[in-house]
Structure 1
């Protein structure tokens, strides 16, 4: 099911993304710079390194950070990055309380970006497989989104004939123009339903739905329940171009 649905809800005030189907590899491969330090917001493990000032577990060094992030055995990862170990000494008790609330309630009390820490992200993964990420620079998210979309397209055959399957489609990252068209759709929450992925001539396309209710992850097959078909995200396998065709446009194509 993880590659059947890709759900993204963008909240522009705090640069927060709620998503399903974007995996950690998509996120890590979107880094411009791998964080040097992580402060873990999950329950404290006494067997791991603990910062004496804040009381949180910490991970330092890019190699150890990547090992933690890409460890599939660890569930519900919750963390905030920080620029330098010495900065932790400047965190106030009030800010420690806010960080505890972030990890417990999966939401912020005040700005999730702390000038003392210089953090670029807050990453909150829940047990229901929904992920909430705050981005200091929202542009960093669009590379992550491109990674996820390309991976999901690669995972589907689009009912292509055996002849076409022998010649693997080469996907390129989403271009800025396509991202700009998708961006306003994400503000209301958009679901890419790969169970309805299909081939239309040279186009490989996936429908885009605006949900009228909270996206819930379960084992049942998702079916539209008053949800709105916005249009399609398509890939031209011959020209290697992406296209977003909204519902009124797709009828004319």
Structure 2
């Protein structure tokens, strides 16, 4: 008798995030990523030079005629966009002294990025010492981020998923918490091993197993080019009916 594996119910998954990596141009397309998640999990951020925004409490740089958010105000800036996501485009920079050294050509390139959501050349500037270029569209259904170090994108996703796990475990009844072993943890190495799939575009889906020593599965599903990232959430039930291409258990 052939046993058919029962499909998991979509609502039982803890988190989904779409990632499509472009290694040649050093950017990643995300869907299911919020500005708050990025700020909390990308590591300490520098000042943010705002290329497109609706933030009213920014500072102003006379040299570039652009507004910016000082590093100590980044968290406040993030909270502003928690409940009203919008088009948001920025590039980080080390300090205002360096910002004042940008040439007219470099300033023009930044304006182009803010308008077209793509750079004329590499968007990583010696003067700015920037690590990221963050470009989100309305309601953050899609976010395009350039990474100076592309593996930082995988590190970001690992941090987000591990935070979901910690939040889940902390919410478990006291007698079920792992006091000695700590929380299950997805590693950077586990995800980097699946980097080739990420270059094709994948949906990562986190599921908690019951009655198992290995408590979580991260399912990886390749999505065809015909499926646009911002449409995934309308078609999620259909997408999840397909078996995952790979599964990471941890």
The equivalent of 1:215 in structure 2 is 229
Bigger helix fraction:
2
1:57 is aligned to 2:67:
yes
Bigger mean CA deviation after superposition, 114-123 or 163-172: 163-172
How does 1:154-193 map onto structure 2 within 5 Å?
167-168=176-177, 170-193=182-205
Bigger mean CA deviation after superposition, 178-187 or 145-154: 145-154
Whole-angstrom distance in 1 between the partners of 2:223 and 2:200: 8
1:193-245 C-alpha deviation (Å, 9 max, x unpaired): 35x7655844432421101032224763412399773122322xxxxxxxxxx
Paired residue total = 227
Whole-angstrom distance in 2 between the partners of 1:198 and 1:33: 33
> 1:3: how far off?
5.8
1:105-146 C-alpha deviation (Å, 9 max, x unpaired): 222221111112111111112114211111112333333111
Q: If the length of structure 1 is used for normalisation, what is the TM-score?
A: 0.74
Q: CA RMSD in A?
A: 3.3
Q: If the length of structure 2 is used for normalisation, what is the TM-score?
A: 0.74
Whole-angstrom distance in 1 between the partners of 2:78 and 2:44: 14
Whole-angstrom distance in 2 between the partners of 1:17 and 1:219: 18
1:77-120 C-alpha deviation (Å, 9 max, x unpaired): 32111112122233233322221222222222211111121111
The equivalent of 1:243 in structure 2 is none
Runs (5+) with no aligned partner, structure 1: 158-162, 236-253
